[in-house]
């Protein structure tokens, strides 16, 4: 695993690494595979290469047990119908075009999101997206992997998308939406308008976490780590981010590119070069533990480790 440098995530996240207690963790004997069509590096240029700008589309990028995320392109004038996510917050990053966001209950209820804007939607809060520009729009949507999408009740099921396999659309009443202040963060953040002021945690839900990590010229440290409860995804907002990932050559990612590391693989992210860069770290656990490497004894205490044992 190449070690050109590494990223100091934040005072709260990484500087406590060596203060933690030591333990034995289950780690795959072979690097965890990339499954469900996921890749170590999803380059935005590759995503767009085969897309017809006159057609709306969706391109899956992350699909693990914690997070599902995809690029979504909307042709001019097209809209994503109003929906709500039952028990989890959702978020998206606008990257091209002009998207009208409607979230009833907030002030203003409707605003236009352009490149670099991050938007989060509280659970059970209806929202809709419309491309109001003259060119195709592009946004990166992020959901908890267990999210259940429901639709405000019309007079009939006409116009609803097909129900999930094995299910039917069923009319019901539901609990009240989450508040806009429960997490102490705004619904939207314009990153490109204020990169320095936009760093830090954006989504801080129990089962969805997104934080903007900004820096330059990262120092070299030995702090490679792996996760045991889902992988990490990184969305590059500005500059270049680099990654060492167990079993792979070093990765350099540009704005709009996404890097994914499955659970169980050692990895190191860092800010590449002297200029400022920012990566949006995305995972399913705001308090998810990082497991840092330690010098291994010649003989472990047991031959087999069973998860949950």
Closest CA to 229 of 151, 149, 307: 307
- Tell me the two tokens of residue 93: 């990053």
Q: What is the DSSP letter of 92?
A: E
- pLDDT for position 304: 52
Name 202's Cβ contacts closer than 8 Å, sequence gap at least 6. 91, 118, 120, 185, 189, 210, 211, 212, 280
Residue 200 falls in which region: left (phi positive, over 0), alpha (psi -120 to 50) or beta: left
The mean of the pLDDT values for the chain is 87
- Which 3 state secondary structure label does DSSP give 38? coil
Question: What confidence tens digit (pLDDT) does each residue in 161-187 have?
Answer: 899 999 999 988 888 888 877 777 789
What does pTM read for this prediction?
0.87
Q: What is the DSSP letter of 105?
A: T
Using CB atoms within 10 Å of the CB of residue 35, give its burial: 0 to 12 exposed, 13 to 18 middle, 19+ buried: exposed
- pLDDT for position 205: 86
- pLDDT for position 303: 52
Question: What confidence tens digit (pLDDT) does each residue in 124-133 have?
Answer: 999 999 999 9
* Residue ranges covered by each domain of the chain: 17-292
Name 11's Cβ contacts closer than 8 Å, sequence gap at least 6. none
Residue 160 falls in which region: left (phi positive, over 0), alpha (psi -120 to 50) or beta: beta
Closest CA to 48 of 257, 197, 209, 236: 257
What's the CATH architecture for 17-292?
Sandwich (2.60)
């Amino acid at each position: 695993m190449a070690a050109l440098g590494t990223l100091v995530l934040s005072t709260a996240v990484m500087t406590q690494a060596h203060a933690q207690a030591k333990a034995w963790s289950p780690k795959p004997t072979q690097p965890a595979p990339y499954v469900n069509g996921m890749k170590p590096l999803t380059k935005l240029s590759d995503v767009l290469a085969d897309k017809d700008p006159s057609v709306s589309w969706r391109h899956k990028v992350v699909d693990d047990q914690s997070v599902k995320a995809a690029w979504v392109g909307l042709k001019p004038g097209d809209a994503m119908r109003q929906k709500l996510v039952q028990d989890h917050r959702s978020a998206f990053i606008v990257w091209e075009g002009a998207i009208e966001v409607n979230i009833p209950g907030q002030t203003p209820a409707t605003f236009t999101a352009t490149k670099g804007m991050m938007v989060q939607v509280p659970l059970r809060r209806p929202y809709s997206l419309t491309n109001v520009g003259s060119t195709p729009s592009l946004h990166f949507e992020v959901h908890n992997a267990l999210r259940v999408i429901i639709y405000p009740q019309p007079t009939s099921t006409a116009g609803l998308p097909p129900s999930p396999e094995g299910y039917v659309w069923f009319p019901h009443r539901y609990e009240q939406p989450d508040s806009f202040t429960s997490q102490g963060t705004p619904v939207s953040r314009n990153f490109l308008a204020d990169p320095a002021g936009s760093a830090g945690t954006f989504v801080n839900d129990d089962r969805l976490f997104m934080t903007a990590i900004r820096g330059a010229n990262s120092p070299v440290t030995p702090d490679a780590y792996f996760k045991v409860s889902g992988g990490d995804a990184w969305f590059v907002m500005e500059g270049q981010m680099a990654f060492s990932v167990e079993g792979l050559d070093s990765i350099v990612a540009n704005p709009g590119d996404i890097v994914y590391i499955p659970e169980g693989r050692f990895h190191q992210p860092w800010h590449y070069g002297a200029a400022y860069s920012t990566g949006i770290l995305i995972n399913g656990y705001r308090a998810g533990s990082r497991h840092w490497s330690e010098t291994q004894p010649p003989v472990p205490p047991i031959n087999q480790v069973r998860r949950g044992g």
